[in-house]
A and B are shown apart, each in its own frame.
Chain A
Amino acid sequence: MTHSIIKLEISAEDRRIAGLAAAAVGLTLAEAAIPLPLPGVKPGLANIVTLIVLYQFGWRAAVWVSLLRIVAGALALGTFLTPTFVMSLSGGLASLSILGLAVHLPRRWFGPVGLSVLAAFAHIGAQLGVVGVWLMPGVNLLPLLSVFLGAAWISGLVNGLVVAGLLRSGVTGAQS
C-alpha cells in the first residue's frame, strides 16, 4: 500500500500574506476587547493592515489578507456565519471593491487618508445596507446614519494618518 503524498508548496508570498493576516487578526481581537458606545461603531484598526498591504503588495494581496482576517477573526470570536460575520464580510467586500477602484486614482493627489476614508464609508454603507434589507427591514436607519458616517469619517481619517505615517517612516518596508 502506497501512501499518496500531498505536498503543499508554500511560496514566500503565502507566508507573507499569512503573517500579515495574523497581524490583522490580532488587531481585530484587540479591538473586540474595547468597549464601544454603539454596536457598529469601531475604530477598524485591522484596516490599517489592509491599506498597508494594498500599497506595498497590491490589491490581490489586500483581498487575501482582508478575507483571511474576516474569517479567522470570526472563528476566533465565535461569530462565524452569524449575522455579525455577514456584516463584517459585506463591509469588507465593499471596502475592498472601493479600494480596488480608488487605488488607481493618481497617487500625487490621493494618499492613504483619502482611500482609508472612502473604504470606511463603503464599509459602513454596506453594513447599513445589510441591516436595512436583511436584518431589520423597515427600521428607519436615517436617524443613526449621520452618527455611523461620522464615526466612519473619524476612524477612516485616523487609520489613514497611521498608514501614511507608517508608509513614510519606512517601517513597513522591512517585510518586503
Chain B
Amino acid sequence: MKVADALGLLRPGDWLVLAGLAAVIAALWGHGSTGDRVVIKQEGKVFLDTTPRLDREVSVPGPLGMTVVEIKGGRVRIKSDPGPRQICVKQGWLGPGQVAICLPNRVSVERGASVYDSLNY
C-alpha cells in the first residue's frame, strides 16, 4: 500500500482526533521530567538544592538583606525580598521549569530538574 493510499483512509474527523490528542501529549511532554527540584542560587552559586516536597522557609542572605523562599505543598515562591521593585515576589508560585530572580539581592530560585538523587526518590 502506498503512502497516498494510507492517507486516503483517514477522514477529516480522524485528523482532528489525531491532532487534538497529539496536542495533549505535547502539552504534557515537559511535565514531570522536570519540577522535582528546587534550586536556590546566591551570586550564581548553588545555595540550596532541595525537593519541593518538604514544606519549609529558607532565608537567603544577599547584599541587601534576607530573601525568604517559601516551599509549601510541592510549590515554591519568593515570600519576601528586600529589593525595591519586588518583581520576584510578585511572580508568585513557580510552575515547573520557571525561575524567579531577585536581581538586586542576587538570589534566584529555579523549579526544575536536577541530578538523580536516590535519597529523595
Contacts and interface: CB of A to CB of B under 8 A. Distances in A.
A142 B32 CA distance: 5
Interface string A113-136: 110011001000000000000000
Interface string A137-150: 00010111110011
Contact of A109 (B13, B18, B22): B13
B18 A113 contact: yes
Contacts of B25: 146, 149-150, 153
B9 to A, nearest CB: 4
Q: How large is the interface on A (under 10, 10 to 19, 20 to 34, 35 or more residues)?
A: 20 to 34
A113 B21 contact: no
Contacts of A110: 11, 13-14, 17
B17 A143 contact: no
Contacts, number: 70
Contact of B29 (A114, A140, A146): A146
Given A110-B14, A113-B14, A146 B31 contact: yes
Contacts of B16: 114
